[in-house]
Amino acid sequence: MNEISAKPSRTQAGKIVAGKTVQQYIDEIPIWSDGTQLTKLPMTRMQWRIWSLAIAGKFFEGLVVFMTGVALPLIDRSFGLGAAQNSVVTAAALFGILIGATLLGGLADVFGRKRMFIAEMAIFAVFLIALTFAQSFIWLAICLFGIGMALGCDYPTAHVVISESVPSRGRGGLVLGAFAFQAVGAICGAGLGVLILSIYPAVDAWRYMFAAAILPAILVVIGRFFVCDSAHWLVSRGRMAEAATETHKLLRREPQYPKLVELIDPHHHEGEGKRIEPARGLSVLFDNAPHRRATFLASLPWFLQDLSTYGIGIFTPVILAATIGSAGTAQSVSGLVTKVQLSAKGTALLDVLLVVGVLVAILLVERAGRIRLQIIGFIGCAVGLGLAALSQDMAGTAQMTLLFAGFMLFNFMTNMGPNAQTYLLAGEVFPTHIRGYGAGFAASFAKIGAVATAFLFPFLLKGIGTQMLLVLLIISSLAGAVVTWIFRIETRGTLEDVSRVQPQV
């Protein structure tokens, strides 16, 4: 491959400057020495390394959050929990995500993507180790909260680490591919619960379930030391020389292309080494109309979808048991273990549709667009929940068939649509200097819905019944479709063009 000279770019003052932006270098397709251009842009080893390490956060979230639902009866028996304490256990990690997404996620805009990329997983590993040795309900709740804090930081950080290092054309599929590992983690969590209980059928088996994730977490921490930092972020801070070095590391290939990296700032900040202070505080997300629109689009639909996604995801075994009349109390340890195993198997079966849904999203996201898939997904979720609600008026085989069909449709549509697209949009719709804050705030606001669901679901199931609860979730799904349409911003294209905020579909 031959070296291509950089095309000149014009600054705001009209001065011609040789060089390209970070994204132009990332999106540039190598050309062979005879002038033949490749048909598609190959990913470098560093880009694949970043992606493979970024998927860990979503995998661990699915593993821990949904495995907590499987392990809850065992934890209940271990500590003798009451109804309120059970709610705290299910909500603790989600509440940690709520706090961590804003409190820690925004720090990626201040200290850099790589530092927070490493720190979040180190925090996760420390609290995970502590969780396996927790001897009281208080320490159990604290450890789950700490784990959630780390996973909350991962929401914006892992997303922007991927988005700012991959080609624009395949960005949506790569981010959603990483997001798919949340569903993979959920399935593995249920499967791990079944496996450990088959080997060690005891009440404290829940400790081994969580302990199984410790070594993988430590390996991910080590691996994240060996990735490059975000050149986009370095440019936003005016650190052009460092940005050029990191761009070269990111695009290292054999033979090397490009051989020379000469960067320009797409936002026209002149002066090598000039420090551009990052935005501080959440008020920046509401300081002008484009920022407000982006914030509303990123946070409101995500909040509405989390109400149903986490409610159905965590409490599927409870809803199934209540519906088919098998929710009797297991008095003996063996009876309890058997019940947990059966619920885990049923949950794993339904969670397969989460993976199928996100795979379809990966195939369609660049063709159909984020907004269209999110709206269609919300409507599909409402239909699935409607089938589940109708099953409550039936009995026997018809009831079970309709209930499973409803939950399967819901799981497929949520991961094809809002559960995947809200995550994708939140990391794309904000400009670089506030991307961490914006994505973090959106994730944090969304988790208000998840925490409320996890804490209130047991009481609502008992108070208003399964059918009425499903009807309320139908309303929230339809509201999500409406809100998405009102604040729609289609984010296909380069991240450097994201400031052109217009309603598009």
DSSP state of 271: S
Q: Residue 258, preceding bond cis, omega within 30 degrees?
A: yes
How high is the mean pLDDT of the chain?
81
pLDDT at position 231 is 92
When mean pLDDT is compared over 156-160, 286-290, 413-417, the highest value belongs to: 413-417
**DSSP state string for 97-164:** HHHHHHHTGGGHHHH-HHHHHHHHHHHHHHHHHHHHT--SHHHHHHHHHHHHHHHHHHHHHHHHHHHT
Q: Which of 248-257, 281-290, 473-482 has the lowest mean pLDDT?
A: 281-290
Q: Which domains does the chain have, with CATH numbers?
A: 45-228+279-497 (1.20.1250.20)
Which residues sit opposite 37 in a β-bridge? 31
Which residues sit opposite 9 in a β-bridge? 17
Angle between helices 418-426 and 289-324 (to 10 degrees): 150
pLDDT reading at 397 higher than 80 = no
Distance separating alpha carbons of residues 482 and 314, to the nearest angstrom? 26
Q: What is the pLDDT of residues 212-253, one digit of tens each?
A: 999 999 999 999 999 999 998 898 888 899 999 999 999 998
Average pLDDT over residues 311-331: 54
Q: What is the pLDDT of residues 25-46, one digit of tens each?
A: 888 887 766 666 677 788 899 9
pTM of the model: 0.75
Residue 273: which residues within 8 A CB-CB, separation 6 or more? 238, 239, 240, 241
- 83 close to 458: Cβ distance less than 8 angstroms: yes
Token look-up 């199928």 returns 356
Which carries the bigger pLDDT value, residue 385 or residue 453?
385
Q: What is the pLDDT of residues 294-314, one digit of tens each?
A: 999 999 999 999 888 776 766
402-412 burial string, b = 16+ CB within 10 Å, else e?
bbbebbbbbbb
Among left, alpha and beta (phi > 0; psi -120 to 50; other), residue 87 is alpha
Q: How confident is the model at residue 408 (pLDDT cuts 50, 70, 90)?
A: confident
Q: How confident is the model at residue 498 (pLDDT cuts 50, 70, 90)?
A: low
Average pLDDT over residues 357-383: 92
Phi, psi (degrees; rounded to nearest 5) at 430: -100, 150
Token pair, residue 454, equals: 């996890």
Q: How confident is the model at residue 188 (pLDDT cuts 50, 70, 90)?
A: confident
Q: What is the pLDDT of residues 2-25, one digit of tens each?
A: 343 334 444 444 444 457 888 888
- 59 close to 358: Cβ distance less than 8 angstroms: no
pLDDT at position 95 is 84
Distance separating alpha carbons of residues 250 and 229, to the nearest angstrom? 9
